[in-house]
């Protein structure tokens, strides 16, 4: 039975203030050890196959050259295609940069170099041109390719996505680099307005290529939504920037674990 003090407090609060208070109370508490308050199941932070070139680079020269290619969430300029809650601008704070920070913390003696390419609303077909240009001008050990969201939002043909990704996978293999595909982020808005399934199938099918793995961002972010750890579509406005920062930090750390585990250095 609630106390009289709690009842009086709730009576004084306006509806808006009450909602904000609930968001704060339900937000995951800060960890005393500095660890991020987001679950990272091993099956979602472990590649299905080893990242061979990544492992070789770290073993032979204690360094890793990474290309991160993607649309809005990768470059930190996300539009509203997946819903207003997933629209944000985080230059230098997007998940690839947070991955770099996590890698440098986890392997402090190694040298990591990150190049981020892409743009808001950029399709996989447009990214392919950038990928080929980058691979021709510089040697990368690891390519992270976040894709599929733009295709889902605009209803582009899944078979066209597959053809584009196959061409990119072939170019990456020829350049002797590992390719990690990153699927769309979970969004109730996106799920209610588009069919993500066919595009997820294409991304999963691509892992049949040697040297290609899939980082299941959709499953990971859906896990965080489901257990109330990170949910941009339900967080209060005054907590939104904090939630976005936490989301990128958690994705970055999860990717760093994925990379090091794939390299045999977890």
- What is the tens place of the pLDDT at every residue in 117-158? 999 999 999 999 999 999 999 999 999 999 999 999 999 999
Task: Tell me the average pLDDT across 89-108.
Answer: 91
- pLDDT over threshold 70, residue 219: yes
Region of poorest pLDDT, from 15-19, 37-41, 90-94, 210-214: 15-19
Write down the pTM of the prediction. Answer: 0.84
Instruction: Write down the pLDDT at residue 78.
Output: 66
Helix (H) or strand (E) holding 17: helix 15-26
Q: What is the pLDDT of residues 237-258, one digit of tens each?
A: 888 889 999 999 999 999 999 9
pLDDT at 11: 42
118-138: b (≥16 Cβ within 10 Å) or e: bebbbbbbebbebbeebbeee
Total count of residues recorded for the chain: 266
What does the pLDDT look like over 44-88, one tens digit per residue?
A: 999 999 999 999 999 999 999 999 999 999 998 766 555 555 555
Closest CA to 50 of 210, 163, 168, 201: 210
Distance CA(223)–CA(230), nearest Å, equals 9
pLDDT score, position 252: 97
d(CA 85, CA 187): 9
The Cα-based distances of 257 to 47, 152, 266 in angstroms read 10, 28, 7
Distant-in-sequence, close-in-space partners of 29: CB < 8 Å, separation ≥ 6: 37
Catalogue all structural domains in the chain, each as residue range(s) with its CATH number: 41-262 (3.40.50.1110)
**pLDDT, tens digit (0-9, with 9 covering 90-100), for 151-208:** 999 999 999 999 999 999 999 999 999 999 999 999 999 999 999 999 999 999 999 9
Q: Reduce the DSSP state of residue 252 to 3 states and report it.
A: helix
Which residues neighbour 53 within 8 Å (Cβ) at sequence distance 6 or greater?
A: 141, 142, 176, 177, 178, 211
11 vs 118, residue with greater confidence: 118
- Can you give the pLDDT at residue 89? 64
Long-range (24+ apart) CB contacts under 8 A made by 160-164 are 160/125, 161/124, 161/199, 161/202, 162/202, 162/205, 162/206, 164/124, 164/125, 164/128
């Amino acid at each position: 039975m609630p106390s009289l003090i709690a009842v009086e407090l709730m009576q004084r609060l306006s509806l808006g203030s009450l909602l904000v208070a609930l968001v704060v109370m339900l937000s995951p508490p800060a960890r005393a050890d500095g660890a991020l308050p987001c679950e990272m199941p091993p099956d979602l932070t472990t590649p299905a196959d080893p990242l061979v070139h990544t492992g070789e680079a770290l073993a032979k020269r204690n360094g890793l050259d990474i290309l991160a290619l993607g649309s809005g969430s990768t470059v930190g300029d996300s539009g509203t295609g997946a819903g207003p809650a997933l629209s944000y601008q985080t230059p230098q704070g997007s998940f690839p940069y947070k991955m770099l920070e996590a890698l440098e913390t986890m392997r402090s003696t190694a040298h990591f170099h990150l190049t981020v390419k892409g743009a808001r609303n950029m399709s996989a077909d447009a990214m392919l041109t950038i990928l080929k240009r980058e691979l021709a001008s510089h040697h990368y050990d690891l390519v992270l390719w976040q894709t599929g969201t733009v295709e889902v939002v605009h209803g582009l043909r899944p078979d066209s996505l597959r053809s584009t990704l196959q061409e990119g996978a072939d170019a990456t293999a020829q350049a002797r680099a590992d390719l990690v595909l990153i699927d769309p982020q979970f969004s109730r808005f996106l799920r209610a307005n588009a069919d993500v399934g066919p595009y997820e199938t294409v991304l999963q099918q691509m892992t049949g290529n040697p040297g290609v793995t899939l980082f299941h961002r959709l499953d990971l972010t859906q896990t965080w939504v489901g257990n109330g750890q990170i949910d941009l579509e339900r967080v209060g406005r005054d907590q939104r920037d904090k939630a976005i920062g936490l989301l990128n930090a958690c994705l970055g750390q999860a990717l760093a674990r994925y990379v090091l585990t794939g390299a045999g250095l977890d």
